[in-house]
Amino acid sequence: MTAPSFSKTGLVCILLAALALALTIALPAQAQARRLRDLEAALNGPKPVPVMDALGELAGMDDPAARRLVLRALATSRDPAVVDCARDLLLLRNGMMANSARPHYETGKVPPILDLARGEMVFVFDGPIPERVKETLRREAASRFAMPIREMVCPWDFSAASVPLRSQYDMELMLGAVISHLGTTQGRCVLVTDRDTYYPGRNWDTGVSTAFGPVSILSVRRLDPVFFGGRPNDSTLCERVRKVFIHELGHTYLPTNRHCPNWDCVVHATQSMADIDRLTDHYCEPCGAIIARTVRDVAEGFPLEPPH
């Protein structure tokens, strides 16, 4: 069989057709990228109405980058109206059906909404979390915060937070994903994951929380000495988990995510595993007083209003 031959004119026509096809694909993609940049800028604006308009457009896009922007807005916004808007839009996008009482999902479509009852703590275990770690968390929650405890296996999809080039998960996007599945938020949700995680601007991180909010995320992956080539050590692992848990839950009861400047406070900032090992396991007097008052207010059902 002989290969087909083309005239010069035929080859030019083929090349022009290929170029036109490439432009047809590239130009809409460039326009979409420009629009995403414009909407991202709108999300950072000071007025809530343009922000919510941008969220509405982003939620309607069939684009993973648009979904990540909505999740990031959920995790970072301090405006309750913006948070509610972003959460509702994601629920609608995921196939939620609404009724007059509260949102609910069509059976079998997406995971159920998690309602946090007044004053309760819900541990959501994502992945194979060692039983010794679970027991450490149960004991610390019961003794330090005296909250009713509930546990569940994580039903949520964090694929939008995956960053394959880093083989890690973006904690800010994971935080937004958890918030997007919360119904009532009168308690605290602690997601305990074995995924390797980082926070934007950092190489890795072991915890993140919403200030004066309902969610903490704790990653045990790097807290295990084995991750950095050490020998298995249950005592070290559980002690690190305990400190990170106390630290992150403290953020949920404090009015900002700023760290305490006092090294003798578990809410002090950490930049390395050595810092976590050096960290104390208790709150300083000023932080402890605020946290105790907020824990009481949450248990009694008072709405939290961060100071302006």
Euclidean distance between CA atoms 293 and 305, whole angstroms = 13
Average pLDDT on 133-148 reads 90
Instruction: Looking at the structure, tell me whether residues 44 and 125 fall in a common domain.
Output: no
Instruction: Looking at the structure, tell me whether residues 118 and 72 fall in a common domain.
Output: no
Q: For residue 138, what pLDDT is reported?
A: 94
DSSP 149: E
Residue of 171, 143, 167 whose CA lies nearest to 242: 143
Instruction: Looking at the structure, tell me whether residues 183 and 275 fall in a common domain.
Output: yes
Mean pLDDT for all residues in the chain: 80
Instruction: Looking at the structure, tell me whether residues 81 and 159 fall in a common domain.
Output: no
149: tokens are 């405890």
> What confidence tens digit (pLDDT) does each residue in 41-78 have?
777 776 666 777 777 777 777 777 877 887 888 787 77
pTM of the model: 0.77
Q: For residue 110, what pLDDT is reported?
A: 47
Instruction: Looking at the structure, tell me whether residues 283 and 147 fall in a common domain.
Output: yes
Q: For residue 107, what pLDDT is reported?
A: 39
Average pLDDT on 4-13 reads 55
What CATH number is given to the structural domain containing 236?
3.40.390.10
Domain membership flag for residue 305:
no
**CA atoms within 13 A of residue 195's CA, in its CB half-sphere:** 26
> What confidence tens digit (pLDDT) does each residue in 156-172 have?
889 889 999 999 999 99
Instruction: Looking at the structure, tell me whether residues 69 and 185 fall in a common domain.
Output: no
Number of structural domains in the chain? 2
Domain that holds residue 56: 25-93
Among 93-97, 136-140, 237-241, 283-287, name the one with the lowest average pLDDT: 93-97
pLDDT for residue 144 is more than 50: yes
CA dihedral 55, 258, 196, 178 (to 10 degrees): -40
Instruction: Looking at the structure, tell me whether residues 161 and 251 fall in a common domain.
Output: yes
Alpha helices in 161-233 (DSSP H): 171-179
Instruction: Looking at the structure, tell me whether residues 146 and 84 fall in a common domain.
Output: no
Position with higher pLDDT, 39 vs 141: 141
Instruction: Looking at the structure, tell me whether residues 260 and 294 fall in a common domain.
Output: yes
Confidence of residue 307 (pLDDT cuts 50, 70, 90): very low
